[in-house]
Amino acid sequence: MSIRWRLTAWYSSILAIVLVIFGLVTYGLVYYYTYNEVKSQLMTQAPQINKQLRLIIKGGLFEVPNLDLGLEQGRGIDDSQLYVQIYNYTSGVTKTTQNMKDLNITFPVPSTAAGAVQNEGIRRVNVNGDSFMIIQQPIKSEELGLVVGLLQVGQFTGSQDRLMNRLQNVLVYGSLFALLAAATSGLFLARKSMKPLVKVIEGANQIQSSNDLSVRIEYDGPPDEIGQLIGTVNNMLGRTEVFYKELEDAYGAQRRFVADASHELRTPLTTIRGNVDFLLKMWTTEPGERPNMDEEMIRELSMEALNDMADEGKRMSRLVSDMLSLARADTGKTFDKTPVALEPLVSEVARRAQFLERTAEWNVGDFSLLNGIYMDGSKDYLQQMLFIFIDNAFKYTPEGTVRFDAIVYQGQVGLRISDTGIGMDKSEVPFIFDRFYRADESRGVTEGIGLGLSIAKWIIDEHHGSVEVVTRQGEGTTFVIWLPVSFSAPLE
């Protein structure tokens, strides 16, 4: 059973219970007040009538000379107010008022005087299809000390009965109609209320069938619980879409990483294998089969092959080391940080950088402004990051100047490496920190595999820093690495 049918059933059941309780209470109250009025009138009239009776005892027999009690008479049974009947247990004679004689009716009486005593009080009787409420009072003779008769005073309750029957019909059929109308309107409202949830199901099915996470559920209703639910579902779909796109981008980057790594590893391996094959062929050939090669030439060619193999081995080592660093970054691993004095660190880097392979002039600024400035970080990784930027500047500055200096601004230190090299187009700046990315003009011209800046960016991020790039093609590039610092000396 669907939710809307269950909601309709629950609503209708609760309404049915409420209507039944309401009907019973209403019927009971009307019944009580309607018949209680008749009962009160009978209980008031019966003692007065009893006082008007003149008891006559002759020979042990009880006689009632007349019943002319001055009662209000009417033409029909509905018009007459009271009906009085006296039964004489000593003679078996029944006397009634004129209105009962006109209607030719008598009230049923107990067969014995003891029965009259037992049935004393108010009771309902039906006479010839007409209903009456009567009060019965035994007539006692103080002279004989016995119950000699029975006084019955009644009132016709047909109009009250008809009123109660009409009320019963109204309550029953009205409740059924109200229940049917409520069930119909409840089902309509339940369907209307559940319509947004149907849209949620349709949207989910559409996503499942088409894998389209851009689908959103349209809702123009009030911000009630269903509106909040749809808003939550749409927000969840939005976050899922973003996560899915990020996951796709990550998978794409991983595939590119594997493809580029395979390409970079294949080149040195091909070189090494070719040189090994060349050496094997050269040294396994009989001397008579290589008439144009003397021992000096063989030695020279062998050294060239070995040097090529050594260079490619170093290149592979750098590549593997860089890939391990990036793998560590991908797994979320970090490194221990301790207070690092910046002036000795950058001075050592500047001193060692002059021995790197270069053709450009090396220019170092004044680092004395860094005296007494510390930061939380890793000395080894900070040096590696600086060497990456400096080595990069040397590679792309075949002639000109590479300068290394520092600035302090608003609680941060900026380590600046600038060159007058080939520069790059501004459109390439957003991609230079991507793995294996190299500018088109430098690819195949300048040595490198395109992982250095990715590693440097990871080290900067781990130190909660940032990097600023200013470049112009043909004029050079400037990198400013901003790092947060602490001016207080570390505790020993």
pLDDT 10s digits, 410-436: 889 999 999 999 988 888 888 888 776
Q: Are residues 86 and 158 in the same domain?
A: yes
Rg (CA), the chain: 57
Question: In Å, what is the CA distance from 306 to each residue of 279, 300, 312, 328?
Answer: 9, 10, 10, 33
Q: Are 469 and 479 in contact (CB under 8 A)?
A: yes
Give the residue, 53 or 471, on which the prediction is more confident.
471
Pairwise CA distance, residues 112 & 443, whole Å:
131
Q: Are residues 26 and 153 in the same domain?
A: yes
Q: Are residues 285 and 351 in the same domain?
A: no
> 371 CB contacts (<8 Å, ≥6 apart)?
343
In-domain check, residue 321: yes
Q: Are residues 314 and 355 in the same domain?
A: no
List, in sequence order, every residue forming a beta bridge with 154; answer none if it has no partner.
Answer: 83, 134
Question: In Å, what is the CA distance from 414 to each residue of 258, 384, 391, 409, 482?
Answer: 34, 16, 18, 8, 4
In-domain check, residue 54: yes
Tell me, yes or no, if the pTM score tops 0.75.
no
Q: Which range among 18-22, 103-107, 204-208 shows the weakest confidence by mean pLDDT?
A: 204-208
| Residue 73 clears pLDDT 60, i.e. is over it | no
User: How many domains does the structure of the chain reveal?
Assistant: 3
pLDDT 10s digits, 452-473: 788 888 889 888 999 999 998 8
Question: What average pLDDT does the segment 97-101 reach?
Answer: 83
| Residue 72 clears pLDDT 50, i.e. is over it | no
Element (H, E) at 468: strand 466-472
What are the tokens at 26? 């209403």
Q: Which domain holds residue 312?
A: 230-330
Specify whether the backbone of 448 is left (phi greater than 0), alpha (psi in -120 to 50) or beta: left
**Residue 397 sits in a domain of what CATH number?**
3.30.565.10
